[in-house]
Amino acid sequence: MAHTGTHSQPVRACLLLVVVSVWVQQVDGVWPLPQQLDQSADRNSLSPQRFSFTYGRDSAAQTGCSVLDAAFKRYFSIIFPDFTKGSGLLMSENESIRYTSSFSQLVYQDDYGSYFINKTEIVDFPRFAFRGLLLDTSRHYLPLHAILKTLDAMAYSKFNVFHWHIVDDPSFPYQSRTFPDLSNKGAFHPFTHVYTQSDVMRVIEHARMRGIRVIPEFDSPGHTQSWGKGQPNLLTPCYKGDVPSGSFGPVDPTVDTTYKFMESLLKEVKFVFPDSYVHLGGDEVSFACWQSNPNVRTFMEKMGFGKDFTKLESFYMESIMNMTAALNRTSIVWQDVFDYHERIPQDTVLEIWKGETYQAELSRMTKAGHRVLLSAPWYINHISYGQDWRNSYAVQPQNFSGTEEQKKLVIGGEVAMWGEYVDATNLNPRLWPRACAAAERLWSDEEKTLNADLAFPRLEKFRCELLRRGIQAEPLFVGHCKHEYDGL
């Protein structure tokens, strides 16, 4: 196996020796599809008692690596579910843990319980460096075990970024040290429906051990109704005629206290979340409340914005992005920020979420020199009867009008699982195996994976493998799996 992908995770896996050949099963069940694979029909038996993972002679991890040692133990029990002990496997660079994921799919049993492997040579690396999955924990609170289980399934599918849309209008479950009232007053419940600092640390560590980075999103100035419950004077008072209506709109971008609050919150976010990226949101800002507020209108006149409220939003977002840059963090923002404003820091990553025009948006953003994430066609919180994974599988992220240099600026994409109608009761079956379609699109060679009909047998088998690993992946077909989900 050889690997040339990049991964800018600040806490990353250890480096290991490249492996050029391993003994594995036929690849009809490998997902995502490796870049290159040569198989032999030669089959040898495999003894769990004699099998072990080991570091290569030239490996940088010869003295030991906790991330890989833990992965070896974890995957030994996956490969040999009837046995509980094991140690290592020759792997390669930054994405090395992901090769254990491929390897674990390729060991198989006969009807008598014996294990076998076939000889196969694999060369593998990711097509895109950023392969993300978004969970929304504001509209419905997701208990910690549901998030950790999602991280497990992400690793099996070679996703490497957990985008944690942790707060929004309905609730503020993040328990801030600096501003404890944000969750005390803004969460659905201040004790049972919050993520403590130790909860967040556990998520980050669980992800790190699986080669997954955690990027938090604190979306503003819109999507902040829950923020206002615990932070007085943060939101804009709405007016009806000349008097306040009693309701509130987006964050008030006209007062200094807003920016002092945001600076303090972002400093804490930097301390708690070690990743080099932070998502600042910037989407779906309603201007109606700003328009109704006389103080906002006065500020607009003073700044020379006229009646163009997109300029006011741009003023706010530029200030917040500058704060992030001063904290040595790179901003990710939703596409609205680009649509409204051209003066965006050049290293800002733009994320496309509007579905109908994403090819044109890809062209415009990359022409402006920005790195881009594609999410629009992978909003899989929307469901339909049957095999709707095929829609996700058909997406071609670089199929837009632009130069080769522009297309290189598409650094990856994200599956989005928004939470209006999703909680722990239906999260896993709605996510899996539907998210696997985007996982393969972001990992594998596009030319080798254009045909969904050819991909289906592999996905069918991988879905059964997910069941065997305890993931409640919904059916793709009429039939059965050898290892059905037993709920235990």
Question: pLDDT by residue (tens digit) across 277-330?
Answer: 999 999 999 999 999 999 999 999 999 999 999 999 999 999 999 999 999 999
* Contact assessment for residue 16 and residue 61, using Cβ atoms and an 8 Å cutoff: yes
Q: Which of 95, 263, 268, 284 is catalytic?
A: 284
What is the H or E stretch that residue 442 is in?
helix 434-443
Mean pLDDT to the nearest integer, 462-482: 94
Instruction: In whole angstroms, give the CA distance from residue 445 to residue 473.
Output: 25
User: Domains of the chain, with CATH numbers?
Assistant: 22-123 (3.30.379.10), 130-379+404-423 (3.20.20.80)
Strands 349-352 and 161-165: unpaired
Other CB atoms within 10 A of residue 287 CB: 17
362-414 pLDDT, tens digit each? 999 999 999 999 999 999 999 999 999 999 999 999 999 999 999 999 999 99
With both helix axes pointing from N to C terminus, report the angle between 144-157 and 452-468 in degrees, rounded to the nearest 10: 130
284 is an active site residue = yes
35-48 pLDDT, tens digit each? 988 878 888 888 88
Sequence-separated (6 or more) residues with CB below 8 Å from residue 207: 151, 162, 213, 214
Q: What pLDDT is attached to residue 52?
A: 82
In this predicted structure, the answer to whether residue 21 has a pLDDT above a threshold of 60 is: no
27 pLDDT tier (thresholds 50, 70, 90): very low
Q: Specify the long-range contacts of residues 382-388, CB closer than 8 Å, at least 24 apart.
A: 383/430, 383/434, 387/456, 387/476, 388/434
48 or 64, greater pLDDT: 48
